[in-house]
């Protein structure tokens, strides 16, 4: 599902807001989550899952084309862990 598809689906269910308002709300939610992760906080949405940032240390790698050894720098990457309810819903054990 794309962000625009999410906005569309929400607009069909919520009649009190315009599509533009819903798009703004979705942007605010995503931006808030991004800022929390950037500052090192964990984002937990009960019944859905949690997001956190994992740190990958720098390491030596190999260019598969040339075989040359390269340095892969340290980086921070987002990580998502699905919650129990989401896992059950995806596995059709619980009604939506």
Domain annotation for the chain: domains and CATH numbers: 3-90 (4.10.520.10)
Region 74-89: what's the mean pLDDT?
Answer: 95
Encode the chain in three state secondary structure.
CCHHHHHHHHHHHCCCCCHHHHHHHHHHHHHHHHHHHHCCCCEEECCCEEEEEEEECCEEEECCCCCCEEEECCEEEEEEEECHHHHHHHCCCCCC
Mind listing the pLDDT tens digit for each residue in 16-35? 999 999 999 999 999 999 99
Is 70 exceeded by the pLDDT of residue 73?
A: yes
Question: What average pLDDT does range 37-48 have in this prediction?
Answer: 95
What pLDDT does 66 receive? 95
pLDDT tens-digit readout, 1-10? 999 999 999 9
């Amino acid at each position: 599902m794309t962000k625009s598809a999410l906005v569309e689906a929400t607009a069909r269910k919520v009649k009190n807001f315009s599509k533009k308002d819903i798009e703004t709300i979705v942007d605010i939610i995503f931006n808030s989550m991004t800022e929390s992760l950037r500052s090192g906080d964990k984002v937990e949405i009960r019944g859905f899952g949690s997001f956190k940032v994992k740190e990958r240390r720098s390491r030596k790698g190999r260019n598969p084309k040339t075989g040359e050894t390269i340095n892969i720098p340290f980086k921070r990457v987002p990580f998502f862990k699905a919650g129990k309810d989401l896992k059950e819903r995806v596995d059709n054990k619980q009604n939506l």
